[in-house]
Amino acid sequence: MSFVDFRNVWLAYNDELLAQGHFAVEDISLQVEEGEFIAIVGPSGCGKSTFMKLTTGLKMPSKGTIAIGGQPVTGPLKISGMAFQAPSLLPWRTTVDNVLLPLEIVEPYRSSFKSKRREYEARARKLLQSVGLGGYEDKFPWQLSGGMQQRASICRALIHEPKMLLLDEPFGALDAFTREELWCTLRDLHAAQKFNVILVTHDLRESVFLADTVYCMSRSPGRFVVKRRVDLPRPRDLEVTYTPEFTDIVHELRGHIGAFRNKDGKTGVAVPQ
Amino acid sequence: MKISKNMERWSPLVVLVAVLLLWQFIVVAFSIPEFIFPSPWQIALQFGEFKGPLIEAAWKTFWVTMLGFALSIVVGVLLGFLIGSSRLAYTALYPLMVAFNAVPKAAVVPILVVWFGIGLGPGILTAFLISFFPITVNIATGLATLEPELEDVLRVLGARRWDVLVKVGLPRSLPYFYGSLKIAITLAFVGTVLAEMTAGDSGIGYLMQTAGSQQRMPLAFAGLVTIGAMAMAMYELFSWIEKRTTGWAHRGSQAA
């Protein structure tokens, strides 16, 4: 039994669009094993974010079924944690208090938050230290650099020990070096805690470096066109990104994206990387 | 560095003194009669002479304003909450509120007098009517500009609307709220004085009206100065509270 199970999922954002047959995503089927790291790549506006909303239960499919952990999805899934391109930390809370925010909301932590605050705070500090934010726990987010804020944002997504981490272009706004550092942070967190990761990105190198399986999406209609397993051995070092095997996979994926952009008759030529 | 910081600190006082000196100089140089345009010195003399009545009137105006202002905080915040957290309420109420806010309050005072009689009622209500709108708009803006991503992060955890409002919306809108208080308090003074001048039996507005009708310009000006000073003091008070409680929103100016 797969952990994430999409069967022929279609979604139109409202009834009007449904009647006209305009779907944000079409006929999505995928099966993700427990602990698997998948990446979804594709041009912007191809429904990647819609896919995230479906997976977390924030949106219900118009057709088809979604089951997570063997249970059909009926509403927001508390076993998921989310982080986005913007860290969106609250500026009036210190970093550690920002990380604690989900525990003030999600059960079973919510009801015991007051009595167990010290324990939870210790956990949040440990998590922050594990991503290299030791010593910055009591700083305010605006005193941290962009990369540090994004680390804190990922900690906030992980504090309630979700089974599934959803990341929507989390490193998109960072410079190349910081981005690579954060890849390694995410890789280590995943290796240590074995949660599922669904990473939405348009950085092909990022997807190949981090994921077990890469899915390519086409644009309007959003559907999966390619599924590519990445069999590079783990743990992967940044060095792997300079090997021919790695570049071959990246190149291959790039070809797919170029190909279906042409077929759409939208902009242009496939540019080889 | 040090000099420029000191200069910044004392600059309001320097400007004030300069304006007073210039004013005094113009009045003396052109020998303008005091019933047209009194000099600062003549106004100061009035303060000495009418200390008692001025303080009494100022006190009256002050607490009428505070009552109206308190009312406008309560109503303004509640309305702001309502239209900031519900699109339907926003769409339904906003046009009406804009129309209402555009009505000149001076035109409303006589109506209030008919309803509530001469006295405190019209003053409190005018102060309220003139000052709640900026509070409402600012609270609503603070709530409405919530990042959708953050809302998703919380909603997926099972957060209710109320949770999002209390944990995120409310603290987020605090700087807007304080900003609006500073505007609203000055407006509230305007409202009170307006009501007192039109239909009062006490307060600074009434005192100024009486002084004006008796051609005692220096006393009328003393009333003006009193109002200005009270509004300034309240403004500073809210600035201070704002800096203390929402320093995170003003980090640019105090980054060390």
> Using one digit for the tens of pLDDT, what is the confidence trace for B70-92?
999 999 999 998 888 888 988 89
Question: For A116-145, b where at least 16 C-beta lie within 10 A, e where not — what string?
Answer: eeeebbebbbebbebbbbeebbeebbeebe
User: pLDDT tens digits, residue range A58-111?
Assistant: 889 988 889 988 888 888 888 889 998 888 899 999 999 999 999 999 888 888
Residues of B in contact with A86 (CB under 8 A): 147, 149
Which pTM was predicted? 0.77
Interface of A with B in 97-156 (CB under 8 A): 101-102, 104-107, 140, 142, 156
User: What are chain A's domains?
Assistant: 37-58+74-263 (3.40.50.300)
Chain B CB within 8 Å of residue A56 CB: yes
> Does the distance separating the beta carbons of B167 and A157 come in below 8 Å?
no
Nearest to A106 among B150, B158, B248 (CB): B158
Residues of B in contact with A53 (CB under 8 A): 152
Nearest to B158 among A78, A82, A157 (CB): A78
A60-74, A157-171, A254-268, B165-179: which range is least confident on average? A254-268
Given its phi and psi angles, is residue A42 left (phi above 0), alpha (psi -120 to 50 degrees) or beta? left
The number of angstroms, rounded, from the C-alpha of B20 to the middle of its chain's C-alpha atoms is: 24
pLDDT band at B252 (very low <50, low <70, confident <90, very high): low
Residues of A in contact with B251 (CB under 8 A): 91, 140, 142
Nearest to A77 among B156, B167, B246 (CB): B156
Residues of B in contact with A76 (CB under 8 A): 155-158
Residues B249/A91, Cβ–Cβ less than 8 Å:
yes
For residue A37, report the phi and psi dihedrals to the nearest 5 degrees. Answer: -110, 110
Closest-CA distance of chain A to residue B134, Å: 24
Nearest to B157 among A83, A86, A106 (CB): A106
> Does the distance separating the beta carbons of A156 and B248 come in below 8 Å?
no
